Copies of this chain bind each other. A is one copy, B any other.
Amino acid sequence: MEELPSWVLSQVSAQGHRIIVERFGAVGARGYHYRLLRSLATDGPASQAALGRRTGIYLSDLVGALNELEEAGYVRRSPDPADRRRNVVGLTDRGRERAEELTERAHAVQEELLAPLSAPEREQFAGLLQRLLEHHRSGG
């Protein structure tokens, strides 16, 4: 009855999501927080619009997530003097620490999710996923 990979994908992803919620929830974070802090840590400060493009998070959702991060003191919004439409979003020192903390958690999630796969299999898996993502990110 040929299980359709797209549905298996859904279920595996659901498992992954469950683990993410669990591991991150334990320290009061959620997926968006990690995505944002990581993007800021690795690619530097950016306007919200640019951040949205980088992380694939909708602008409307970004607002809320940034509010949470800002209230927690992980992130700072400062007006861009060169363009008064923009907020430049940057990490605070605490934010940098938080990014590292969440990155560790993310690796733990990964380890848990990919546990049954060998190193070369993980490479394969990551490669295939990456190609799928790129295809759908550009061509749609």
Contact = CB atoms under 8 A, between A and B. Distances in A.
Overall SS of chain A's interface: helix
A92 interface: no
A130 B16 contact: no
Q: How many copies does the complex hold?
A: 2
A115 B128 contact: no
Interface in A3-27: 3-13, 15-17, 20
Interface in A98-139: 106-107, 109-110, 113-117, 121-122, 124-126, 128-136
Contacts of A31: 10
7 contacts: A3-B126, A6-B109, A12-B133, A114-B132, A116-B131, A116-B134, A117-B131
Given A12-B129, A13-B13, A129-B12, A6 B110 contact: yes
A122 B15 contact: no
